[in-house]
Amino acid sequence: MCGGVVIEMDAAAFERLVVDELDLLPDDMIEGLDNVVFVVEDRPEDGSLDLFGLYDGFALTERERYGLGELPDRIIVYREPHLAACDGEQELRDEVHTTLVHEIAHFYGIDDERLHELGWA
């Protein structure tokens, strides 16, 4: 995690940064995503600054319960926690990248314990 001075970035600029980082991810990681949308929100519902992202949906490993017409799963990236934790734009990009990989891994059914082992949590 980054740390120190809070950096400033409006919602539109942060969303562009998230899209830029998504574009840098390997194609095989992104191409397997099915019925998933990426959303940027300011903060988690509880208002905390310690959650950087959230996967809201059914992991690929649980999709046998998944039916036609389901709303898309969501990968949410929280702007304010990232900004509060990072000292500069490069640290912010690195943390957003890690958050995206972490939440996409949840889509593929990889849990937090395994992500810790792999260094992505």
pLDDT, tens digit, 9 for 90 and up, residues 84-102 = 999 999 999 999 999 999 9
What are 65's two structure tokens? 């319960």
Predicted TM-score of the model (pTM):
0.88
> Is the pLDDT at 76 greater than 70, yes or no?
yes
What are 63's two structure tokens? 């999709």
- Cα 42–chain centre separation: 13
- The pLDDT of residue 42 is 97
pLDDT, tens digit, 9 for 90 and up, residues 13-38 = 999 999 999 999 999 899 989 889 99
Among the listed residues 48, 47, 51, 46, the one whose alpha carbon sits nearest the alpha carbon of residue 75 = 51
pLDDT, tens digit, 9 for 90 and up, residues 36-71 = 999 999 999 999 999 999 999 988 888 765 556 678
Q: How many residues does the chain have?
A: 121
SS3 15: helix
- Is 19:71 a contact under the CB 8 Å cutoff? no
| β strands within 19-96, DSSP E | 36-41, 53-56, 73-78
- The pLDDT of residue 101 is 94
- Cα 68–chain centre separation: 25
| 47 Rama sector, left if φ>0, alpha if ψ -120 to 50, beta otherwise | left
- Work out the percent of the chain whose per-residue pLDDT is above 70: 88
